[in-house]
Copies of this chain bind each other. A is one copy, B any other.
Amino acid sequence: MTTVSDRPSTTAPSGNRTGLTPDRADHHVDVAYLETALLGRWAQIRRDSRAVAADPRFAKEEGLSMADHRARVLDQLKLLTTDADVLRAFPVHLGGSNDAGGNLAGAEDLILADPSLQIKAGVQWGLFGAAILHLGTPEQHEELLPAAMDVSVPGAFAMTEIGHGSDVASIGTTATYDEATEEFVIHTPFKAAWKDYLGNAGQHGTAATVFAQLITQGVNHGVHAFYVPIRETTKDGSAGDFKPGVGGEDDGLKGGLVGVDNGRLHFTHVRIPRKHLLARYGQVAADGTYTSPIDSPGRRFFTMLGSLVQGRVSLDGAAGVATKAGLITAITYGNQRRQFAGASETEEMVLLDYREHQRRLLPLLAETYAGHFAHERLLDLFSAVFSGEMDTPESREDLETMAATLKPTSTWRALNVLQTSREACGGAGFITENRLVSLRADLDIYVTFEGDNTVLLQLVGKRLLADYAANFKGIDGVGMARFVVERAADSVLYKTPISRIAQSILDSGSVRRSAGHLREEATQRELLTDRVESMVAELATALRPASKLTRANAAELFNNHQHELIEAARAHADLVQWEAFTKALETIEDAGTRQVLTWVRDLFGLVAVEKNLAWYLINGRLSGQRARTVTSYIDRLLARLRPHAQDLVDAFGYGPEHVRATIATGVEKERQDEAQEYYRALRASGQEPVSEKSLKGKATGGSKG
């Protein structure tokens, strides 16, 4: 494991000379303590997983051809089954440990080995295997899981179609039951129904879990999953030709994840035995009679899809890890790299002492911390649901909403942070050996796969509206405030007694209009909560006429408010993260660390307010005068946090063996020191050339030149 001393020492902050010295420089982050705190509930699993991520056998090799990269990743995938503990989610009697939460916690850091490997593993075990696990019966587990687990059958998860991405309910592939032979006939009726973008489908997969409209006895029972062999397995165990009736294409080169063999599949009347309908939520008897434990087709569909929520939870975690790696590089480099003379004529300024550089990086650092703590709560909830500890329809719905809230937030953040970090490192950021561009390219697809981010935020917005409608039939303002707090507490802090937080808001009922200081928790909570509440209420009012309109006009009314719906979901995401961060602060025992983290939380909260400042002004929540203080308080927080920036990224707990960026290893500081020493020696030698500028200055007696 890494220790703090592995990393280059922090350049002393240069602000000490001035009146703007951070005003509480006596507070310090206890880096080792914070690192442990961040490891959280699954600390040992994460430590083990970081050892795997640091193992050169699993590292991405840059510049490989697509073919070589794919082959390497397939080999690595098989190696993981023996040399890493990657099957925790599967049943104990099949060699797993039935630990859904631990499984995801352990999968996150794999992105630092190679995102292609993480996604290939996600396809094999988190999608293909998980479909069998969650949608199959115990008998199907016995039959199908072992080969999925040990990768003797690499499998594709064939849900998305060319014509239908996020709208799974409308896919075109059909699975028609034939009583005569007791088989399903899997069929692709037109080109738009080809399955596409499927990992393992391009080259390595020999089977797939295929999602299709289940039709029996003339009735379409909606989307179900089927286990379909797609390629022969050759003697050496690799994938051979397509099975009869199966066809496809390789997606070829992509913008990233080049080590994953994405591809397209289509089926021409492919027959599979009846038993290969994954039958947990829907069975077809030999005579074609359909039965399901869930009567409502709509609820059945959402239950089936909901059992696959782990993909989103997993991406939320992985995006957070990549984000941390980017910030470690940018902040370490920004603490060493010097450019342009500032206060001193002989010494250039360190980049991170520039206020614009702080403005670009430190709010992202605050967001990354907020995202970290929110992800931990999401994992808690995921674990509670999937361990059965708290598996209710309500908690499943909360889990899906929270995943739909955080996955878009963290994946867009990852792209933003990696890009900003690459720019903050200038040309060096563009060189592959410094890894930022490589990570960004691989992460790009995260914002549209496993649920397009915009579509997910719209789902969140609809959930907010539905909750609102269910709770707000004619209640007053106080009731509304309570509702919002309950909802926030529900989704973020499901274990927390709702009453306590709700009460604290109600007790301070005048906060909204009072001159509460921006640094106060209650003020920030009120500002963020009020925004979600008011936006949802305004939307609900605007959409109320929909129930009386024709389908077409109602759809149009809804469409006209789509942007506000998505904005409301974003506001909800801010609140969820802020609440998770605030809750986490209570658990930080070291006083200095807690103080610094509190500033980080304040920065997160106030930047969220600043981004939406016009809303607060237009809606009379902040006066012009107070709105100005948001920005000036952010400026103060940046100055306070700047000396702690290195500690805050060091505490992420990743060493050079994980980050693998040459410029984050201290080479820049060596170069800067060498250059400074050269000039120092030159001045001391008396051999330094005189500058023409200073000569001219002397000649004219002035300083112009």
Contacts and interface: CB of A to CB of B under 8 A. Distances in A.
Interface of A: 17-18, 20, 62-63, 65-66, 160, 162-167, 170, 172, 189-193, 196-197, 213, 215, 218-222, 251-256, 290, 295-298, 338-345, 348, 353-356, 359-360, 415, 419, 422-423, 426-433, 436-438, 440-441, 444-445, 447-449, 452-454, 458, 551-553, 555-556, 559-563, 566, 610, 613-614, 617-620, 624, 627-628, 635, 670-672, 674-675, 678, 689-693, 695-696, 704-705
A258 to B, nearest CB: 9
Nearest to A552: B343
Given A192-B672, A343-B551, A441-B441, 16 more contacts: A65-B65, A160-B427, A163-B672, A167-B339, A192-B674, A192-B675, A218-B689, A253-B432, A255-B422, A255-B440, A256-B430, A297-B692, A297-B693, A344-B552, A355-B560, A355-B562
Contact of A430 (B222, B437, B448): B448
A675 to B, nearest CB: 4
Given A162-B671, A441-B441, A447 B427 contact: no
Nearest to A675: B192
Given A192-B675, A354-B559, A624 B620 contact: yes
B672 A18 contact: no
A430 B262 CA distance: 11
B63 A66 contact: yes
A216 to B, nearest CB: 9
A360 B675 CA distance: 47
A422 B437 contact: no
Contacts of A551: 343, 345
Contacts of A441: 255, 437, 441
Nearest to A65: B65
A298 B255 contact: no
Given A254-B430, A343-B556, A618-B617, A219 B691 contact: yes
A195 to B, nearest CB: 11
B252 A675 contact: no
Given A355-B563, A448-B423, A618-B624, A695 B430 contact: no
Contacts of A163: 338, 671-672, 675
B437 A444 contact: yes
Contacts of A165: 339, 426-427
A141 to B, nearest CB: 27
A223 to B, nearest CB: 11
B255 A432 contact: yes
A620 B623 CA distance: 11
A675 B453 CA distance: 26
A552 B553 CA distance: 65
Contacts of A66: 63
A62 B218 CA distance: 48
Contacts of A449: 427
A674 B674 CA distance: 67
Given A551-B345, A563-B355, A674 B624 contact: no
Nearest to A172: B675
Contacts of A164: 339
